[in-house]
Amino acid sequence: MVRHTDDNDKKPRARQDERSPRPFKSSGPRKSGDGTKSFGDKPRGPRDDGAKRFGDKADRPRSDKPRTDKGGKDGKSKTPETPLRAERIAKTMARAGIASRREVERLIGLGKVAVNGRILDTPATLVTRDDVITVDGKPIGSTQATRVWRYHKPAGLLTSHSDPTGRPTVFDALPAGLPRVISVGRLDLATEGLLLLTNDGELSRALELPSTSLVRQYRARARGKITQEQLDALKDGVVVDGVSYGPIEAKLDKATIAKFQRELGAMGYKFQFVTLAGFHALNNSMFELADGYRDNGMAAYSELQQREFANEARGYTATRHQREVGTGYFDQVATVISNGTSSTTALKDSTETAQFTTAA
């Protein structure tokens, strides 16, 4: 029979003070540091240059050159300076109000633009704010904040910076303290109305592009009484100077406006383009809608629709925009003109008389 030893049967461990002390064994006096010692079987030489901390490296030769306040040597900063941002010269000149990008490229092709005294032969040139750009030997100003002015162009002023025949221009009539500005598009000599001016050629170009689809509103006024037969002839197409012209579409660009002028002139009528107050009406109505939306949300738009429906009793028809921009709108215009319900006669001795031009 196997008997397991119980814990109580174990002999108690002797306490520290009951243990027999170990006999002291001396290895003798320490040797002086003059001799060679070994540590880990590797020899270690004597320290003859004084005590050093573990890991100390040999002293490096110090430079006699003084440090600058920037913290670097020889006046060099520890942190590199931010490089100057470079951009295409056409963009820089456009933002400075010199001309649009396309016009800048034309000036470069004519050899009129120089950078730091060197005449450019390509618009593929990068410049920074430290470069000196000149046009015809005159330095351009620094880039300014983009600004836009609203100018009511009177009739008789040419929308151009210069005219070979000496006719007065829009820019001749501007205040003397105004910076160099560029017109956004053009208005004809005999046309009056809103003309936007800006000191940013890049913005001017963007607003002129057809791809932006900005709405431009005009009111055409024809002198004389137009018959329905003549309107039908315009609708079916007419031939002027051997060129066949078809119906005029709602989207009017410069070419369409010119075609409309030639067609009216071919029938012996004089014409006049007058800007609408639509700019102010559109902006004011949008402001009121946005102001109401801020306080009442979509209820403001619902209120606008209710006002539109209420105006239908007074002849308002634009509640359905697709129907409004269709042929029904132009049929109504033709009916009004043919019935003579709209005055088309200029006031005698008024400024309107000088604005009428006979189409060639």
Ranges of beta strands (E only) in the chain are 37-39, 42-44, 87-88, 113-115, 118-119, 126-127, 133-135, 138-139, 148-153, 182-183, 193-198, 218-222, 238-240, 243-245, 270-275, 357-358
Instruction: Provide the token pair at 204.
Output: 């001017």
CA atoms of 135 and 107, how far apart (whole Å): 8
Q: Count other Cβ atoms within 10 Å, centred on residue 138.
A: 7
Which residue type, as a one-letter code, is found at position 63?
Answer: S
Helix (H) or strand (E) holding 287: helix 278-296
Upper half-sphere CA count for residue 52 (Cβ side, 13 Å): 11
Residue 134 contacts residue 114 (beta carbons within 8 Å): yes
Helix (H) or strand (E) holding 207: helix 201-208
Residue 325 contacts residue 250 (beta carbons within 8 Å): yes
CA atoms of 327 and 332, how far apart (whole Å): 9
Query: Exactly one of 9, 48, 74, 188 is catalytic; which is it?
Result: 188
Residue 94 contacts residue 104 (beta carbons within 8 Å): yes
Instruction: Provide the token pair at 310.
Output: 């209420």
Residue 247 contacts residue 263 (beta carbons within 8 Å): no
Helix (H) or strand (E) holding 309: helix 299-311
Task: Match 């629709």 to its residue by tokens.
Answer: 305
- Helix/strand/coil percentages in the chain, nearest 5: 30, 15, 55
131 annotated active-site: no
User: Is the four-CA dihedral 222, 247, 207, 201 of positive or negative sign?
Assistant: negative
Active site residues: 188
